[in-house]
Structure 1
Amino acid sequence: MELDDAYANAAHIPGAERFPGKWAEAAEMWRTQQAHEDRVRLDLAYGARPRERFDLFLPGDTPKGLIVFVHGGYWLKFDKSSWSHLAAGAVTRGWAAAMPSYDLCPTVRISQITRQIARAVGVMADMVAGPMVLTGHSAGGHLVARMLDRGMLANEVATRLHRVVPISPVADLRPLLRTSMNAELRLDAAEAAAESPVLMEDRLDVPVTAWVGGDERPVFLDQARWLSHAWNCDCVVAEGRHHFDVIEPLELADSDLVELLVG
């Protein structure tokens, strides 16, 4: 369809086929290391459905707060198991990090996934005290941005939000109506508008920074800037980063991205 190539990331990233295996291997190594040190809690439930589970990674001392990372995959792919290593930067800085799975389209609709993540954040908040920072990549960037819709989170959770950092977010879902993937996403015009962060009018007053790679597809640079303009928030363009490696700095305690999250 008209916008298929515009939203096709893998087709424009050299060696894209190697990334999923690389992510899964790094994630498993990190989980194994953390389990050896008794600093991980796996497959914690936030609901009754099989994919309503999250992993919680803990620092050596009492956590300074909680980072929540929501994975991407166009609401169609992946689960929490491929991203564990991205907790490393925050955990090294003394924060706990939680990573949820969620149901995927076409089994559910995007609006249902949004509410799954809201439930997950509420359960996570009960497990770790202190400030909370939400971040997510691509579809996950969309999902964490949606948490700022007033009333999405319980007030006692919303008041603890310290910052939200959508990474390469899909902030306006309406263009996806003109892609072939919508056969599985099953978006109609009403849901695309209702689920678009750029159209959210009653938002929580929480600092937001959109983060996007400088070498991403033009539409993802547009999406990040659309969110920045709609919300009057900062937008950081990470030069030299594409859609698949823009998240790698989350592994590094001294990276600019981790500093933004927990500094």
Structure 2
Amino acid sequence: MKLDDAYANVPYIPGGTEYPARWSAQAEAFRDALVAEGRAELGLSYGPTVRQAFDLFHPEGAAKGLCVFVHGGYWIKFDRSLWSHLAAGACERGWAVAMPSYDLCPDVRIAEITTQIAQAVSAAAARVDGPIALVGHSAGGHLVARMAMPGILPADVAARLQHVMPISPVSDLRPLLETAMNADFRLDMAAAEAESPALMPAPSVPVTIWVGGDERPVFLDQARWLAEAWDVAHHVAEHRHHFDIIEALGDPESAMLDQLLG
């Protein structure tokens, strides 16, 4: 369809097809290490289906707060098992990190995934005291942006939000109507508008939009649209593309984590 190529990342990233296997290996090694140290709780249920579960990684000592990472994959692929290593940076800074999976389209609609992530954040928040920072990548960037909206999270959980960081988010879902992926999303214009953070009022919680300078033009647009709609900080990381932009989460000294966690 008209916008299929515009929203395709893999063909435009050197070695793009190799990233999932690399992520999986790094994530498994990280999980194994934290399990051995007694600092990982895996497969914690937050809902009735198998995919409604999260992993929780603990820092050494008492946690300063909770960081929740929501993965991407256009709401149609991947799960929490590929991203565990990205918890390393926040854990080293003394934060607990929750990583949820969620049901995927076409089994559910995007609006249902939004509800599931709200349930996952709430379940993780019940296990970790202190402030909450939300970060999500691509489709996960859309989902954490939705968490910033009034009425999505329970009031007591929303009150704990310290920062929300959509990384390379899909903020306006209307263009996806012109992609073949919409056969799985099953969006019409009303549903797309109802799930588009860029069409919603700015939240009261601090938000920073992060995107790679070498990303596809539509992702630069999507990040800018949200930053402009909400009048929030907008960081373009030079020489980073859609797949390596998230690597900074694994580095406790990164500017990304400085902004997210303070």
Please report the TM-score for the alignment, with normalisation by the length of structure 1: 0.99
Q: Residues of 1 paired with 2:69 and 2:125: CA distance?
A: 13
Amino acid at match of 2:139: A
1:25 is aligned to 25
- Does 2:183 correspond to 1:179? no
2:192 is aligned to 192
2:40 is aligned to 40
Amino acid at match of 2:150: R
Q: C-alpha deviations, 1:132-170, integer Å up to 9, x for none?
A: 000000000000000112111111000000000000000
1:243 is aligned to 242
Note the C-alpha offset of 1:204. 3.6
Secondary structure (helix, strand or coil) at the match of 2:118 reads helix
Alignment of 1:206-225 (within 5 A): 206-225=205-224
Indicate if the aligned counterparts of 2:59 and 2:91 stay in contact, CA closer than 8 A. Answer: yes
1:232 is aligned to 231
Q: Residues of 2 paired with 1:38 and 1:258: CA distance?
A: 24
Q: C-alpha deviations, 1:97-118, integer Å up to 9, x for none?
A: 0000000000000000000000
- Does 2:235 correspond to 1:255? no
What is the Cα-based RMSD across aligned positions, in Å? 0.6
Indicate if the aligned counterparts of 2:203 and 2:230 stay in contact, CA closer than 8 A. Answer: no
Indicate if the aligned counterparts of 2:31 and 2:84 stay in contact, CA closer than 8 A. Answer: yes
- Does 2:136 correspond to 1:143? no
Q: C-alpha deviations, 1:36-81, integer Å up to 9, x for none?
A: 1000000001011110000000001100000000000000000000
Q: Residues of 1 paired with 2:91 and 2:195: CA distance?
A: 31
Structure 1: tracts of 5 or more residues without a match: none
1:125 is aligned to 125
Alignment of 1:3-152 (within 5 A): 3-152=3-152
Secondary structure (helix, strand or coil) at the match of 1:127 reads coil
- Bigger shift: residues 253-262 or 223-232: 253-262
Secondary structure (helix, strand or coil) at the match of 1:247 reads helix
Amino acid at match of 1:216: E
Amino acid at match of 2:258: E
Alignment of 1:143-162 (within 5 A): 143-162=143-162
Q: C-alpha deviations, 1:178-220, integer Å up to 9, x for none?
A: 011111111111110000001113x541000000000000000
Amino acid at match of 2:67: I
Q: Residues of 1 paired with 2:145 and 2:156: CA distance?
A: 18
Note the C-alpha offset of 1:250. 0.6
Query: How many residues were matched structurally?
Result: 262
The runs of at least 4 aligned residues of structure 1 exceeding 4 Å deviation read: none
Same amino acid, percent of matched pairs: 61
Q: C-alpha deviations, 1:10-38, integer Å up to 9, x for none?
A: 01011111100000000000000000100
